[in-house]
Structure 1
Amino acid sequence: MEEIKTIYFAGGCFWGTERAFQLLEGVVDTQVGYINGQTENPTYRQVCTDTTGFKEAVKISYDPAALPLERLLQAFFLCIEPEKKNQQGNDRGSQYQTGVYYIDEGSQAICQDYFDKERTKHAAFYTELAPMINYYPAEDYHQDYLITHPNGYCHISSQEFDQVKALNPKK
């Protein structure tokens, strides 16, 4: 097994985004939280005021030997609408801005190449690609939300979840 790598995805409401990534073989751990804002250790209530600059995000720890970053990006773009700014599904506000946030140059290069290709598929493209500046874990009740609340709200459709699952290697 290669060294475990970390990358962050903001895909709208973090409950569904986390659940989508949990369906991929090679994801070692997920944690929902808040990324790239201006206050220290924000709460969900603060992030929802649209004044902190934070986005709802999922920290993904993955094994690159089992799960290439390109497959994570493919899953991400199956579940978002990059043409929308500060909105995914029925959720509106700057905390729902989509983005990918990297911590190393290797990941940046792979993401940039993927973004360059993905951008050509859309009339408008608002998904951010930026370094992770700061990240704070969300409150415990948000972690693994759709596992503990399987009928909870989700902006990602069951068909999109099925498409993500189909990205796993055939056995």
Structure 2
Amino acid sequence: MKKIISFLLVTMVISTAIFASSNKSNTGHTTYTKLDTATFALGCFWCTEAKFKELQGVVKVTSGFSGGHTVNPTYEEVCTGTTGHAEACNIIYDPKQISYAELLQVFFTTHDPTQLNRQGNDIGTQYRSAIFYHNAAQKQASEYYIKRLNQEKAYPRPIVTQVVPFTVFYKAEGYHQDYFSRNGNQPYCKYVIQPELDKFRKAFASKLKTQYK
């Protein structure tokens, strides 16, 4: 319960701050919806994509690689842990339907941000927890979120999530896109992703495009 309250309070504070900041540039003219991008790494991108694509306001989720030094890496190269890249997802979203703060809430509640370079049985720097911020507001919100969660001791250990500037995103091979939707009966999907997705659907039932019973 304490963790849930911490997440809700932090999300509310960040949402208010971002809203206030965006209003400073409002000159009173009619504004149009502008899509935004969030780039997160939180372990296997198959699982990340499966969760975030179900959220209301999320327009598109692309699996790929970010944060490394190898140009146009292949999945096999990233799996060696020598490219510097993390498995990540580019999330295109509508800020009028879902805020960056709400995306951060999903980010921090759907993986263990205190595990260094691993998630579950997936081990290596390519599975690290990372936020690749696209602007100063995202950087500030991410750092504030981590600071408050550490202060509230929402986790038994300190958060190790990297908060680093976005530089480049390489789209993964086609067979990685919509992986869970197309391979639901594959063992990893059935026994690893599906249980995680079920927990996610319960935790964020009110924010999903489709309601599950």
Query: With structure 2 as the length reference, what TM-score do the two structures score?
Result: 0.74
Is the contact made by 2:201 and 2:208 (CA closer than 8 Å) also made in structure 1? no
| Equivalence map 1:1-171=2 (5 Å) | 2-120=33-151, 121-122=154-155, 123-152=157-186, 153-154=188-189, 155-156=192-193, 157=196, 158-168=198-208
Aligned to 2:25: none
Indicate if the aligned counterparts of 1:103 and 1:131 stay in contact, CA closer than 8 A.
yes
Q: How many residues align?
A: 170
Shift of 1:166: 3.7
Tell me, yes or no, if the aligned pair for 2:68 and 2:84 is still in contact at 8 Å. yes
Deviation at 1:118, TM superposition (A): 2.2
Name the Cα RMSD after superposition.
1.8
- Identity over aligned pairs, percent: 37
Unaligned runs of 5+ in 1: none
TM-score normalized with structure 1 length: 0.92
Structure 2 stretches lacking a partner, 5+ long: 1-31
Secondary structure of 1:28's counterpart equals strand
The structure that is helix-richer by fraction is: 2
Counterpart-to-counterpart distance in 2, 1:164 and 1:140: 28
The runs of 4+ residues in structure 1 deviating greater than 6 Å are: none
Please, which moves more after superposition, 79-88 or 99-108? 99-108
Q: Deviations over 1:50-79 (max 9, x none)?
A: 111100000000000100111111111121
